[in-house]
Amino acid sequence: MPESPQTPPALETRNVNKWFGANHANRDVSLAVPKGTIHGVVGENGAGKSTIMSIVYGYLPADSGAILVDGRPVAVRSPRDALAAGIGMVHQHFMLVDPFTVLENVLLGAEGGVTLAAGMARARAELARLARDYGLEVDLDRPVGDLPVGAQQRVEILKALYRGAEILILDEPTGVLTPQEADHLFRILRALREQGKTIVIITHKLREIMELTDNVTVMRRGQVVANLATAGTSREELAELMVGRKVLLRVEKAPARPGAPVLEAAGLCVRDGAGVERVKGVGLTVRAGEIVGIAGVSGNGQSELLEALAGMRPLAGGSVRLRGEELADRPARFTARGLRALGVGHVPEDRQRVGLVTGFEAQECAILGHQGDPAFNGRFLMDRSALFDRCAAEMDAYDIRPRDPRLPAANFSGGNQQKIVLAREIERNPDLLLVGQPTRGVDIGAIEFIHRRLVALRDQGKAILLVSVELDEIRALSDRILVMFDGRLVGELGPEEADERRLGLMMAGVVDAA
């Protein structure tokens, strides 16, 4: 509960500056988080929100400025210092040892003594209390690797609390959660607030900010552009503050006019690298001129389905027809190379590890998958100027910045990297575009652009199969929504009947909801 104004804020930064070379990543960042509140920090990628929190948690040294905890300046030079000051952090990517049990993970680095037994007993009692107080139930004796993602995140929270954190920083905590898991997390965070803990949550999901936080700090280009009470603002206002201009949060599109089937799959089975069947008999049809969305919690076989359809994984069974032509029994054509030649474009889910070679120049990435195209090749040598021109033209058309085809792909922001991939795949004018997580980690401004491009491609009469874990995205773009759970399609909905609750339940495998 917010306390009287005389109480110093639990966490305060004063005029923090941070340079990365010539880049002013944090410019006089001042924000105050009152004790016992949930505070949101929003901003686009590169706005500096992760930088300021890394400074608070001791990962990065500030070039100038001060950090105050409960009104007292603290010198935070390492995460150890931060923990000593009562600051804990839950990372986007969990820092857990998978084969260790929950108890062992919590104890790691805080064993307290030569033998483990005493520390174990103490930790077990303490954790039982924490679990009871805050609804943080997890089975202490199970290996962390066996737990669902939501439970792993609770282990991270337990770790921080066990170390005496009074201030908890969460970096993009809901990115990997189902809506139900996210709700559970929010209940926990509210319970923590009731007990007087202070919570800072970094996110780009404005809905969560509105639902959860008491106050919100908006950052843009390294600066704080607004400190607001959540109750007094709106999603639209926050989006505008983040981007610096008005943003359309919905996608404008006309009703689809589906044509002939482009992709028809039946009884598809796909195994992962370990031989486990991840897609168990999926059948679907995508017609020209429509976007079919596959919703589902990540890890339910969507990734394997998409990769199999793109020729990156062998089929373990089933049939695939492209424009009526059976492909599954023609292994020579059912490859990544062969499918591309047949007019299948693929925007992979993980652009950094699959869609791009981050060490390559942008212009080299712009031909990935098309390196054999005669347009870029002479008899022996590649035509570097054709390559450069092609990439420069795509950069203009897609507003990719910086507009330097020779810059390594790693030096572009997430949104611009994604645009490099999209430009490459869309500009080849595919009949069928397979798209995975098109806007994961992408700025709001770029999301708007990417969504418009996909709808425009649909309106040209192309077929699009979209896989996304972002329900908002699925609902905004899809003309039909398929829900995938445990390797099977468990239902189909129209976008108007797919509300959050219904989709969420189906994604959790409760099929009756359909």
Partner 1 sequence: MAQEAAQGVAQDVVGRGFGRPGDVPGWVGYALLPLLNLLAALVLSGLVILVIGENPLAVLTLLVTEAVGYPEAVGYTLYYTTGYIFTGLAVAIAFHCGLFNIGGEGQAYLGGLGAGLVGLALTGWPWPVAALAAVALSGLFGAVWAAIPGWLQAKRGSHIVITTIMFNFIAASVMTYLLVDVLIRPGSQSPETREFDPGVWLPTMDRALGWFGVAIPASPLNLSFLWALACCALFYLFLWRTRWGYEIRTVGRNERAAVYAGISPSRNIILAMAISGALAGFVGVNEIMGVQHRILLNFTGGVGFVGIAVALMGRNHPVGIVLAALLFGVLAQGGGQVSFEYPTVNRELVMVIQGLVILFAGALENLFKPQVEALFRRRRGGPQAEGRA
Q: Which residues bind partner 1 (CB under 8 A)?
A: 19-25, 27, 45-46, 48, 50-51, 54, 58-60, 78-79, 91, 95, 221-222, 310-312, 335-338, 340, 346, 348, 350, 353-360, 364, 368-369, 371-372, 376-377, 380-382, 384, 401-402, 404, 407, 410-413, 416
Q: Cα(187)–Cα(170) distance, rounded to whole angstroms?
A: 14
Q: How far is the CB of 293 from partner 1 (least distance, A)?
A: 22
Q: How far is the CB of 195 from partner 1 (least distance, A)?
A: 28
φ and ψ at 220, to 5 degrees? -150, 130
Which residues have C-beta within 8 Å of that of residue 107, sequence separation ≥ 6?
116, 119, 120, 123
Q: Cα(250)–Cα(507) distance, rounded to whole angstroms?
A: 23
Closer to partner 1 at the Cβ: 287 or 351? 351
Q: Cα(32)–Cα(68) distance, rounded to whole angstroms?
A: 9
φ and ψ at 245, to 5 degrees? -155, 170
Closer to partner 1 at the Cβ: 145 or 359? 359
Closer to partner 1 at the Cβ: 54 or 478? 54
Closer to partner 1 at the Cβ: 54 or 152? 54
| DSSP E strand stretches across 399-499 | 432-436, 463-468, 480-485, 488-493
Q: How far is the CB of 93 from partner 1 (least distance, A)?
A: 8
Q: How far is the CB of 412 from partner 1 (least distance, A)?
A: 5
Closer to partner 1 at the Cβ: 256 or 279? 279
Q: How far is the CB of 481 from partner 1 (least distance, A)?
A: 26
Closer to partner 1 at the Cβ: 349 or 479? 349
Q: How far is the CB of 408 from partner 1 (least distance, A)?
A: 8
- Quick one: tokens of 201? 């949550």
Peptide bond into 402 cis (omega under 30): yes
| DSSP E strand stretches across 205-295 | 215-220, 223-229, 261-271, 277-287, 291-295
Q: Cα(76)–Cα(98) distance, rounded to whole angstroms?
A: 29
Single-letter residue type at 484: M
Closer to partner 1 at the Cβ: 250 or 337? 337
Q: How far is the CB of 87 from partner 1 (least distance, A)?
A: 14
Q: How far is the CB of 23 from partner 1 (least distance, A)?
A: 4
Q: How far is the CB of 223 from partner 1 (least distance, A)?
A: 10
Q: How far is the CB of 161 from partner 1 (least distance, A)?
A: 19
Q: How far is the CB of 86 from partner 1 (least distance, A)?
A: 19
- Quick one: tokens of 255? 């009703």
Single-letter residue type at 398: Y
Q: How far is the CB of 352 from partner 1 (least distance, A)?
A: 9
* Phi-psi category of residue 158: left, alpha or beta, with phi > 0 → left and psi -120 to 50 → alpha: alpha
Strand order in the sheet with 317-322: 277-287, 261-271, 317-322, 325-326
Nearest to 308 by CA among 263, 351, 353: 263
Q: Cα(181)–Cα(163) distance, rounded to whole angstroms?
A: 24
Question: What count of other Cβ atoms lies within 10 Å of the Cβ of residue 77?
Answer: 10
Closer to partner 1 at the Cβ: 102 or 354? 354
Closer to partner 1 at the Cβ: 30 or 352? 352
What is the DSSP-derived secondary structure letter of residue 406?
T
Angle (CA) 466 468 472, round 5°: 105
Closer to partner 1 at the Cβ: 7 or 23? 23
- Quick one: tokens of 220? 């843009």
* Phi-psi category of residue 454: left, alpha or beta, with phi > 0 → left and psi -120 to 50 → alpha: alpha
Closer to partner 1 at the Cβ: 116 or 407? 407
What is the per-residue burial (b if ≥16 Cβ within 10 Å, else e) of 14-43?
eebbbeeeeebbbbebbbbbbbbbbbbbbb
Closer to partner 1 at the Cβ: 79 or 343? 79
